[in-house]
Structure 1
Amino acid sequence: MNLMSPLSAAEPASALSNVSRRGLLGGAGALVLALSLRTPPARAAETQFGADAMPNGWRDDPTLFVAIAPDGTVTVTCHRSEMGQGVRTSIALVVADELEADWAKVKVAQAEGDEARFGNQDTDGSRSLRHFFMPMRRAGAAARAMLIAAAAKEWGVPAAEVTAENHVLRHAKSGRQTGYGEMAKAASGLPVPQGDAVRLKDASAFRYIGKGQIGLIDNRDITTGRATYGLDTRLDGMLYAVVAHPPVFGGTVKSFDAAETLKVPGVVKVVPIDPPAPPVEFQPLGGVAVIAKNTWAAIKGREALKITWDDGPNASYDSDAYRAQLEEAARKPGKVVRQEGDVDAAMKGAAKRVEAEYYIPHLVQAPMEPPAATVRIRDGQVEVWAATQAPQATRDRVAKRLGIGADKVTVHVTLLGGGFGRKSKPDYVVEAALCSQAMGGTPVKLTWTREDDLHHGYYHTVSVERLEAGLDAKGMPVAWLHRSVAPTIGSIFAAGADHEIPIELGMGLVNTPFAIPNLRMENPSAPAHVRIGWFRSVSNIPHAFAIQSFVAELAHAAGRDPKDYLLDLIGPARIIDPVKIGDAWNYGEDPARYPIDTGRLRRVIEAAATGIGWGRKVEKGRGLGIAGHYSFVTYTAAAAEVEVGPKGEITVHQVDIAVDCGPQVNPERVRSQLEGAVVMGMGLALTAEISFKNGRTVQDNLDTYELTRIDAAPKTINVHLLPGQDYGKPLGGVGEPGVPPVAPAIVNAVFAATGRRIRQLPLRDKLSA
């Protein structure tokens, strides 16, 4: 039994307290439960580059802590990062429900980066609740059992006669009762129940799980400005830094003159940062750091730097020319990644052939809070405060770059002002560590400006998707060919990697669940010229956009209703083993536990169609579009009503999005995530694009990299949660799956409104021509 010192009762419920190693030595009178409950290993994602190369390695997930202080305060330690998805709240409410805790007495402490102790800490892949719902239930139930056992022992009655409800222990026969805090010390000396001795509540007795009545535990602090994000860190004697990065990926500093920079009031020091040797992984890009007494002085000092750059091998990168290169590759055979039947023969015998190419540009995550981190080095110990999705990866990369052991590095995780995959790459944290080291350990907060974020980030891959279909006399496909051409995330881990890796192939390409007798998916090579990184829903975005747009085109060619045609393509409800159709990854999950269920995909499509009023007559200039997709072991569909004005202006009036994510732990957050996905997906469809000229990013800020503005957001977003309250069934994911079907639903609605098929995102002013 470990002991952890309880948090002070004076701290706000959402205080970002971090659990320290020293804290384990104190805490008399607190019940602390540490369970190691592992999910089945799923390492397919690591096979190509190794576990150490993939911070999102999808490893086993053990160990979280639950503490009850003498005053009755329950503290749940959350080892995943909070970036608006509500994980701190959702994990805590699961524990609180099984514990029979009073929610008003529940707090959350944020774990430090320590994978050996807390298990996998990467917040990605929509898997935090998927992997930790049952472990957290068992943790709460075990703590409840220990409190009951302690009370029974003190009262000299059978444990079966003691009940726990809403933070109170009762013995009905004698009328005795006591609070959790009064029994915490006695319970801490009892053995932790294991296995079948942990009795879970029946779902009918849930008070919080699935009820949708719990708001964000951090909400008051967030809305009143008390919450601590990465940019909010303040330490005594702290300095501030920004970095002048190479304007072209792979570029280096030939020479620099800092004389004028050092004249800027407040500038303290100028520090060169060496670039990494390929592959770049999560290391800094290199460049020159300016350290000052405030961020403004650092920025002005950076502007005064005179730097001569060697732009390196990507100096001529031009996204328009690269698109032509991808299109050329898409028109030739590529590496076969899935094959069933004889596509070529079926194509030759088809009554009609349809082909189309779709293009999606580079995108960037652009979280509201750009990357920021603070590092202090003192007495051989390194302390980090960072908005990071990957605390352990952060710890490891800082230690490696500073040449010290990881045990010398402590990572304090703050709230994240958005992440979307950008903050799983801790290059900016390593930069802060190098600046602190250069200042003799003085704490340094390093900040990326919005321009830094857009110019020097990890970009979502650019993609050309070519689809060909051979149709029979009834207009249904007898042959299907899909070539996906895109630079791979694998390129940051292995120099020269130019094919999509299994993770990317398994995101809506090889696992396309259509009932077509002859299919072939190919993946031609595509070299990377920028850093490719995770972006919310990753390769599901281009694959879903192309496939769901193409389905609508086939429906039009066949003279069929798009929704009915899509359902016919999916075919009857059936269970598909993803491994048997070429997807050995399956989102890191056991395919026996998480097969593809086409019945669930059909149901979300039907739910979205019903919500939008599919088939109804709409005003002239308006149209309805629909799309469905399977990702992160969850099924989603979106239906959109779009109006196209006389000058080609696009208004999205309504979006209905349906989701089947299995049992819903926190419906309020499910709805919020799906609403956010609609707005984000709408931005991808209409406005968002990163382009390159002479190796340099063209877009500078949010005036040119346009996200969906509030006045452009749909007036109505309806979220349809399909019934899934059998808590004995596996959970899906929520954070990422809502994005992929939104853009194709909008584009399909534009076609319905205008008869014009747009195959290139974003739409922008393409309809005004």
Structure 2
Amino acid sequence: MNSSSKTDTLLLANVSRRGLLKGLGAAGALVLAARWDLVAADVPKYGADAMPNGWVDNPNVFISLATDGKVTIVNHRAEMGQGIRTSIVMVIADEMGADWSEVKVKQALADEARYGNQNTDGSRSMRHFFEPLRRCGAAARTMLEQAAAQQWQVAVTDCKTTVHQVVHTPTGRTLSFGELATRASELAVPERQALTLKTPDQWRYINKQPEQFPQGTTEKTGQPMAIDGRDIVSGKAVYGADIILDNMLFAVIARPPVYGASLQSVDASAALKVTGVVKVVQLPTASMPSAFAPLGGVAVVADSTWAAMKGRNALSIEWDNRSAGDNAHYDSVAFKAAMEAESLKPGKVARSTGNIEHALEHADRRLVASYYAPHMAQAPMEPPVAIVQIEGDRAEAWAPVQNPQATRAGIAGRLSLKPENVTVHSTLLGGGFGRKAKPDFVFEAADLSRIMAGRPVRVQWSREDDLHHGFFHTVSLDRLEAALNDAGKVTGWRHRSLSPSIMSLFAPDSGHMSDMELAQGIRNMPFDIPAIQQESGEAMAHLRIGWFRSVYNIPHAFAIQSFVAELAAAAGRDHREFLLELLGPDRQIDPRSQNESWNYREDPKHYPIDTARYRGVIERATHAAGWHSSSGSQRGPRRGLGLAVHHSFMSYAAVVMDVAVSNRGEVTIHRVDIAFDCGPQVNPERIRSQLEGACLMGIGIALMTQITTAEGKVQQDNFHNYLVPRNSQAPIEIHIHPVNDQLNVPIGGAGEPGLPPVAPALCNAIFAATGQRIRTLPVADQLQTAGATVNSRDNGHAVS
């Protein structure tokens, strides 16, 4: 790609609701910009910003219609495998009446003032943009019908859109979308209140399974392709590492092995002798807290990535760990022990109802258990990569980023440029999971382009770089204590949770989780228990802690759902019935009544905690799995069912695992049933894929995946010791069961909420099969070391 063609994008302008562009080039086209609020106009911004820079719930989505009938829809969100490019097109095309075969997608540049929020995280793309996207398509349909009425000189009420054409219903005359494009471009965009949205029975694409797509929209296989699926599977799709510019340089960086360490000395003489190496550059060490700033180190710039890597291998570097402070002594084993000791002390109270001390003191039985979840790395299949080129007072970047706006603002700040003079092209992401919401790797490329006199520089991270120097999922220690009466009912519940906070990236570390982090599974716990106390213990961060798919819901769901299973066993009760009883009567809980003020930044009036929806997914998953209270959760010798449920990102997920454990400790997952309630399912096929992916990822979290440290250094290097599931460890069957997938509730998230209940369901199934409790993740060799002797039902409860 040469510099003259690198910005070959549609020229789309931000116009007012009453304004309209009259064409794209000489061909002429309707171009529509929609800028509307969320479905509920009274939804306020709720709670403090949970992420740096906050977000704007004010979408700005573009449609263009050429005179040949081709429809181009601009996607303003990051595509990382979740299918948002397809889902956005589905919604707009359906409301517009466009033929799927006549639609294509273009990726938006970074520009939140134009497009609305572009930070693709929090499972909120459809949650926040479904209704505005529908209105965008409906406005285009309305304008086409108005154009047809003008051309025929008839009443607009007699003009109806079918598929890619408008029909005059009294006479049967038709005009294609292409024939109407020019006339429609001369009309004003209708006001929101003038729009009529389609009813669900009129949808052709929304909420449809692949086999339900109308004739002409499927491939020969009978299955619809993702909007860019053919390019992806054929290798034509453009990812970050696919961008090649004229005169481009390539760079890799030797970063400090300890977070906060500085460069003491470097001998680059051998590196400079490597063929292809152009320059060796010392980069400043990031100050702490570092936010998204690069870590610093030594960059090797060369004429190829291979030469840069060979040059980096030839560097002789000494690091100074004094600037890293306690980070230089960070040992994950010792830190686990320290958290366990700290968990015995009273913590900072986050929520308190009833009298927990009285409940525990007067309990007929008490149970105490602690649960540990380690650090993890997002490890997307595509490691970070970015290209930046500077020309005068302008800069242009190409990168697989989840947050293009933060990328744009960060480049502008580092290069002292106006944000409007920075162009960010978001390529396809080969996975993200939160890692690519932090654009430190793009800032590295910007710094090096400036040093190299503006030449385009590509910074490539290796898998080892990604595992050693990422933004890690927090480590967590959760201590739970409960009181049971003589009827086996829970009368008191204390949860003390310790985790380093993501907020340590942006401000001096308080040692305690933020409100946002405590909200994820702890404060929004729905159980109907008379006395509840939830506390946050102190745990300081010694790595860069960052977002990871489902974030703090993972350890909190593991602890709570494992503890519920332990309580059921201690009470001699069926786990399913015990869990349903804990939920209490069907009710909608305002999270603010539980001292939970974040609520994923959604208005509690529209998104309460709904115990009926909890109950719905539990009953659906257990019914599908064949769970019967009379027979319990054991399926046979060393085989059993495990259950877990969780609410996150405004959705509800329940998982039942059917698991067998051999005498050698090998785990076989025969079947997984996932019941999922996210409200309306815009793209059920992609939701199914997201849940299947969450299932596999959760299995890895449960069985094998972890980051460990010694002397401040990450010990894992690649997938040989940072373990993720292989095909042989995948479930034999995965069944997805949609629940409540109609428009009677607001839409929820889909990318993340399927993950948290997977690990506890699996560990509960292991107990059902073997009698051994798993309180420390990952399982790793815990079952193997126990051997064939693990068969009794005595699992070491701390019961009195």
The TM-score range, normalised by the shorter chain, is over 0.9
- Alpha-carbon offset, residue 245 of structure 1: 0.4
Question: Which stretches in structure 1 are left out of the alignment for 5+ residues?
Answer: 1-10, 48-52
Measured against aligned partners, the alpha-carbon deviations of 1:686-732 in whole angstroms (never above 9, x if no partner) come to 00000000100011101101011111100100011113222x63100
How far apart in 1 are the matches of 2:286 and 2:508?
12
2:696 to 634, 659, 679: 679
Q: Is the CA contact 1:61–1:120 (under 8 Å) kept in the aligned structure 2? A: yes
User: What is the correspondence of 1:3-152 to structure 2 with a 5 Å cutoff?
Assistant: 18-19=9-10, 26-27=24-25, 29-39=28-38, 40-46=43-49, 54-55=52-53, 57-152=54-149
Aligned in 2, Cα 1:21/1:138: closer, same or farther, shift over 3 Å? closer
Partner residue of 1:317 out of 330, 338, 345: 330
Say if 1:58 and 1:588, in contact at 8 Å, map to a contact too. no
Query: Structure 2 counterpart of 1:90, which letter?
Result: S
Structure 2: how far apart are the matches of 1:388 and 1:231? 12
How far off its partner does 1:16 sit? 11
In the alignment, which residue of structure 2 is the partner of 1:649? 666
2:642 aligns with one of 601, 615, 625: 625
User: Which secondary structure does the structure 1 equivalent of 2:523 belong to?
Assistant: coil
Deviates further, 504-513 or 25-34:
25-34
Shift of 1:588: 1.0
For residues 512 and 34 of structure 2, the distance between their equivalents in structure 1, rounded to whole angstroms, comes to 40
Report the 3-state secondary structure (helix = DSSP H, G, I; strand = E; otherwise coil) of the residue aligned with 2:735: strand
Aligned partners of 1:368 and 1:561: how far apart in 2? 41
Counterpart CA distance in 1 for 2:392 and 2:154 is 54
Q: Deviation at 1:535?
A: 0.2
Q: Trace 1:514-525 onto structure 2 (pairs within 5 A).
A: 514-525=527-538
Q: Deviations over 1:286-345 (max 9, x none)?
A: 111111111111111011111110122111100011111111111111110000010001
- Aligned letter for 1:272? Q
The correspondence for 1:749, drawn from 747, 750, 765, is 765
- 2:569 is matched with 556
Distance 2:679 2:305 in 1: 46
Given that 1:45 and 1:502 are in contact with CA atoms closer than 8 Å, whether structure 2 keeps it comes out as no
| CA root-mean-square deviation | 1.6
Give the one of 437, 450, 456 matched to 1:443.
456
Q: What is the identity percentage for the equivalent residue pairs of Structure 1 and Structure 2? A: 53
Counterparts of 1:18 and 1:768, CA distance in 2: 56
Shift of 1:61: 2.8
Q: 1:474 aligns with which of 480, 487, 503?
A: 487
Q: CA deviation at 1:379?
A: 2.8
Q: Which amino acid aligns with 1:768?
A: Q
- Give, in whole Å, the separation in 2 of the partners of 1:426 and 1:68: 34
CA contact (8 A) 1:16 1:228 kept: no
Q: How far is the alpha carbon of 1:571 from its aligned partner?
A: 1.2
**Distance in 1 separating the partners of 2:670 and 2:269:** 56
Q: How big is each residue's C-alpha offset from its partner over 1:646-689, in whole Å with a ceiling of 9 and x where there is no partner?
A: 11111222111110000111111110000000000000000000
Displacement of 1:18:
4.5
Match of 1:510 among 523, 544, 549: 523
Q: What is the CA distance between 1:43 and its match in structure 2?
A: 4.5
- Tell me the secondary structure at the aligned position of residue 676 of structure 1: helix
1-structure distance, mates of 2:8, 2:90:
18
Residue of structure 2 in register with 1:357 after alignment? 370
2:67–2:181 CA contact under 8 A, matched in 1: yes
Q: Secondary structure at the match of 1:268?
A: strand
Give, in whole Å, the separation in 2 of the partners of 1:279 and 1:590.
Answer: 31
Q: Give the Cα separation in 2 of the matches to 1:274 and 1:41.
A: 42
Residue range with higher mean Cα deviation, 110-119 or 23-32 = 23-32
- How far did residue 135 of structure 1 move? 0.3
Gap change, CA 1:705 and 1:263, over 3 Å in 2: same
Moved over 3 A (4+): 15-28
Given that 2:95 and 2:141 are in contact with CA atoms closer than 8 Å, whether structure 1 keeps it comes out as yes
Report the 3-state secondary structure (helix = DSSP H, G, I; strand = E; otherwise coil) of the residue aligned with 2:580: helix
2:443 is the counterpart of 1:430: yes
- CA separation in 2, counterparts of 1:77 and 1:577? 37
| Shift in Å, 1:173 | 2.7
Corresponding residue for residue 205 of structure 2? 208
Residue identity opposite 1:280 in structure 2:
S
| Aligned with 1:495 (options 508, 528, 532) | 508
Count, aligned residues:
749
Any conservation in 2 of the 1:238–1:442 contact (CA below 8 Å)?
yes
Task: Note if 1:303 corresponds to 2:313.
Answer: yes
Once the two structures are TM-superposed, the CA of residue 182 in structure 1 deviates from its matched residue by 1.3
For 1:7, the equivalent position in structure 2 comes to: none
Q: Structure 1 residues 752, 175: CA separation in 2 closer, same or farther (over 3 Å shift)?
A: closer
* CA displacement 1:447-501 (0-9 Å, x = unmatched): 1100000000000000000000010111111000000100000000102232111
Shift of 1:62: 2.4
Query: Which moves more between the two structures, 464-473 or 399-408?
Result: 399-408
In structure 2, how many angstroms separate the alpha carbons of the residues matched to 1:362 and 1:269? 35
| Paired AA for residue 380 in structure 1 | D
Q: Which residue of 1 aligns with 2:610?
A: 597
Q: Distance in 2 between matches of 1:475 and 1:329?
A: 30
Say if 1:19 and 1:557 are closer, same or farther in 2 by CA, change over 3 A: farther
Given that 1:148 and 1:164 are in contact with CA atoms closer than 8 Å, whether structure 2 keeps it comes out as: yes
- After superposition, the C-alpha distances for 1:261-280 in whole angstroms (9 at most, x for unaligned) are 10011111111111222221
Q: Give the deviation of 1:212 after TM superposition.
A: 2.1
In 2, Cα distance between equivalents of 1:763 and 1:186: 65
Distance 1:16 1:723, change over 3 A: farther
**Alignment check: 8 A CA contact 2:12 2:62 kept:** no
Change (3 A) 1:594 1:608: same
User: 3-state SS of the aligned residue for 2:559?
Assistant: helix
Distance 1:438 1:131, change over 3 A: same
- Superposed CA deviations along residues 235-276 of structure 1, whole A, max 9, x for unmatched, are 112111111000000111011111111001111111111122
Indicate if the aligned counterparts of 1:323 and 1:464 stay in contact, CA closer than 8 A.
Answer: yes
The Cα shift of 1:358 comes to 0.2
TM-score by length of 1: 0.95
How far does the alpha carbon of each residue in 1:116-171 deviate from its partner, in whole angstroms, 9 at most, with x for none? 11111000111000111100100000000001101100110001111111101111
SS of the residue corresponding to residue 315 of structure 1 reads: helix
Task: Report if aligned partners of 1:649, 1:765 keep a CA contact under 8 Å in 2.
Answer: no
Report the CA distance shift for 1:16/1:230 in structure 2 as closer, same or farther (over 3 A): farther
Q: Hey, what's the Cα distance between the residues in 2 that align with 1:135 and 1:360?
A: 39
Equivalent residues of 2:209, 2:683 under 8 A apart: yes
**CA deviation map 1:153-208 (0-9, x unaligned):** 01100011111111011113333211101111111110111122111111111111
| Matched residue, 2:228 | 218
Describe the shift of the 1:421–1:755 C-alpha distance in structure 2 as closer, same or farther (beyond 3 A): same
Q: Distance in 1 between matches of 2:97 and 2:8?
A: 23
User: What secondary structure, in the 3-state scheme, does the structure 2 residue paired with 1:199 have?
Assistant: coil
1:336 aligns with 2:336: no
Shift of 1:563: 0.9
Q: Matches of 1:464 and 1:724 in 2, distance apart?
A: 35
> What is the aligned partner in structure 1 of residue 184 from structure 2?
187
**Aligned pair 1:260/2:303, yes or no?**
no
Shift of residue 85, structure 1, vs aligned partner = 0.3
The equivalent residue for 1:414 is: 427
CA distance in 2, matches of 1:255, 1:19: 49
State whether residues 43 and 59 of structure 1, in contact with CA within 8 Å, keep that contact through their aligned partners in structure 2: no
* Structure 1 residues 534-554: Cα deviation after superposition (integer angstroms, max 9, x where no partner): 000000000000000000000
Give the conservation status (yes or no) of the 8 Å contact 2:83–2:686.
Answer: yes
